[in-house]
Structure 1
């Protein structure tokens, strides 16, 4: 059925990919407004712990005083060798800042090391004034399908 979220605020199922996934079904990227969330990833996206390898973790921030927020995020994740970059929208105008539907900016945090305790990282990020949301989806996936060259592995919660 095709509808809108105002009429049907809870989806029965969402299927999406992810930038990274760990064995406990934590993800970077994904959906979260559904009863059952199935993520599908290539085996190369599987990591022991999220973060590291130059992963870009997105953080949505309000435009007001955004430079301060970027500096704070960089400091918070200094241990992960975080390099923050304000996302640009090269589709509309090259170099123009990317603006979300809610008129906010996206900061991509490039991480060279693991994030450690994901719940702590999530909490610290969301407690920073002006942060709207981040791209960590912890404990939301009900199923993770990992595709390999020769096989497919299905992990259920």
Structure 2
């Protein structure tokens, strides 16, 4: 029997697909994570969406697309996307988000920014008044491997906000660090409650060796949260 969390993910994903993807669309971005699995499940149930080209943000979403028999495309082929649907690790009331718990933040950022409309889906646990309060594992930062120590030093010395901790993310069933789909490392930097996530993201992005930062600010138009009782809470950017 599915848990309340899984049921929440499913209802949020289904409703997001039903309200944001139509047969008139030509290219759709597919994000990464456990909630996105349900979005693809819903797409496969709707036969009128089978002709659309789908752009993945990770190896995981590439598999979801190809194993579902959908048309796989690339961002090189289709740099303009109608809608991108993706999950999130934490979302604040302004629809700023922390993403990258699955180490896919660079490709997720590329596909999100290429979209005319960016939609987020999550369960109720991901709602937050301030980023860095519910998701305490840190802001994911993708870095070029040879520069990871330089970046860690810079995070602790060159930002307007000092992190509470920085750590290189290590693999669970492999000796050594997590390696992204792009062959890079991930640093997780926890800042506590983030007063200005957009500013912090810009500061981190400027550090030499940083490829991308898991702070998705001023991007999403709408977010769907599946609640424990099976309802969906919808937040729209003001």
> TM-score with structure 2 length normalisation?
0.58
Q: CA RMSD in A?
A: 2.0
In the alignment, what sits opposite 2:65? none
* Structure holding more helix per residue: 2
In the alignment, what sits opposite 2:153? 71
Does the CA contact (< 8 Å) of 2:83 and 2:117 recur in 1?
yes
| Deviations, residues 18-37 of structure 1 (Å, cap 9, x unaligned) | 00001111111174131211
In the alignment, what sits opposite 1:40? 121
Which structure has the larger Rg?
2
* Whole-angstrom CA distance in 2 between matches of 1:4 and 1:119: 28
User: Does 2:91 match 1:21?
Assistant: yes
Deviation at 1:131, TM superposition (A): 1.1
* Structure holding more strand per residue: 1
Q: Which one has more relative contact order, counting CA pairs under 8 Å at least 6 apart?
A: 1
Point out where structure 2 has 5 or more consecutive residues left out of the alignment.
1-52, 54-70, 100-104
Deviation at 1:105, TM superposition (A): 1.4
SS in 1 for 2:154: helix
Of 133-142 and 36-45, the range deviating more from structure 2: 36-45
How do 1:67-106 and structure 2 match up within 5 A? 67-75=149-157, 76=159, 77-78=161-162, 80-81=163-164, 83-91=165-173, 94-106=174-186
Aligned length: 152
* Whole-angstrom CA distance in 2 between matches of 1:147 and 1:130: 37
| 4+ residue runs over 3 A deviation | 74-77
